[in-house]
Amino acid sequence: MRMKTSFGSKLFDAGNLLFMIALMLLMIYPLLYVFSASISNPSLVVKGEVLLFPKQITKEAYMLVAKDSYIWISYYNTIKYTVLQTVFTLVFTAMLAYPLAKKRLLGRRTIMLLIAFTMLFSGGLIPTFLVVKQLGLLNTTWALILPSLISTWYLFLMRTFFEGIPEELEDAATIDGCSALGVLFRVVLPLSAPIMATVALFTAVGQWNSFFEALIYLSDKQMYPLQIHLRNIVIASSAASQVSGSQDGDVYILETVKYSTIIFATAPILVVYPFIQKYFVQGSMIGGIKG
């Protein structure tokens, strides 16, 4: 039997649908505009004539970006930082979350309170910088990884997920001769693909888009990530447009180079996300329901 839907319910569904469509358009428009601006005639972009679709398509900006040696150096640096950050975050967060998921752990409540305390209070920017400096990490890869290695929020999500795994599976693995680390890496982690994918995505996107830490801890241009290079291009474009009153050709092309670099920077995340979306949604829902 089909249940009859009330008028109020239909009205709510229609309003909800319209709201979601409007929200989707608000998110898609900036991406579409940046892509259109990156392949349009630079003079039309500067004059504000490109609003949605590209006009007088040209590849000049992308060719200039491809010839920039620093774009590839920064690309490599960003990939390196992102991979290392993601891998180490998953490993160390899992190794901390797994014992905290066991109620038999002595001092479990005290440890959780101390960890939760860091969500409200931190050492601050200057003390953190001084610690990084005293450890000799300035101008090294580890300066961008170690200070943010474990996130308290990701730790709570992962611990909550681990608590939902039946202990009988772990007991069976222990009887078969697995150590505690063996149970974690051979039993628990293979069953935790949703939450691992969720934490990996959040960590990778955060590190990929990060530039403030690199701005503080790095002074060697050869170690700059992609976002610092993009920031320099945006600053150069803004400065050139203010200095040049006549808006010459170099200023025009610099404006489209800015947009093409943005596409270069965001393309990998946009390509990877669809493949792990199902794990991301599942992990977020499980962590939210059981937390």
Instruction: Quote the CA–CA distance of 56 and 91 in Å, as a whole number.
Output: 49
HEC-encoded secondary structure of 51-93: CCCCCCCCCHHHHHHHHCHHHHHHHHHHHHHHHHHHHHHHHHH
Report the pLDDT value the prediction gives residue 289, as an integer from 0 to 100.
47
Distance from chain centroid for Cα 92: 18
Q: Which fold has domain 86-213?
A: MetI-like fold (1.10.3720)
pTM of the model: 0.79
Taking each continuous run of H as one helix and of E as one strand, the counts in the chain are 13, 0
Structure token digits, residue 174 = 């222990």
Domain layout of the chain by residue ranges: 86-213
First to last CA, the chain: 36
Give the DSSP letter of residue 147: G
Report the pLDDT value the prediction gives residue 22, as an integer from 0 to 100.
92
Q: How far is CA 106 from CA 20, 79, 103, 109, in A?
A: 47, 39, 8, 8
Q: Closest Cα to residue 280, out of 144, 128, 156, 154?
A: 154
Given the structure tokens 């109020």, which residue do they identify?
Answer: 8
Q: How far is CA 9 from CA 13, 15, 16, in A?
A: 6, 10, 10
Instruction: Report angle CA 205, 208, 214 to the nearest 5 degrees.
Output: 135
Report the pLDDT value the prediction gives residue 291, as an integer from 0 to 100.
43
Distance from chain centroid for Cα 61: 26
Report the pLDDT value the prediction gives residue 92, as an integer from 0 to 100.
92
Q: What is the mean pLDDT of each run of 10 residues along the chain (291 residues)?
A: 69 89 89 87 81 83 82 90 93 90 86 87 85 91 90 88 84 82 83 85 87 88 87 73 55 77 82 73 56 43
Report the pLDDT value the prediction gives residue 170, as an integer from 0 to 100.
82
Structure token digits, residue 103 = 């109620």
Q: Closest Cα to residue 244, out of 235, 233, 252?
A: 252
Sequence-separated (6 or more) residues with CB below 8 Å from residue 183: 170, 173, 174
Report the pLDDT value the prediction gives residue 262, as an integer from 0 to 100.
84
Instruction: Quote the CA–CA distance of 31 and 52 in Å, as a whole number.
Output: 10
Instruction: Quote the CA–CA distance of 147 and 138 in Å, as a whole number.
Output: 12
Torsion of CA 109, 111, 116, 118, to 10 degrees: 160
Residue 101: phi and psi, rounded to 5, are -80, -10
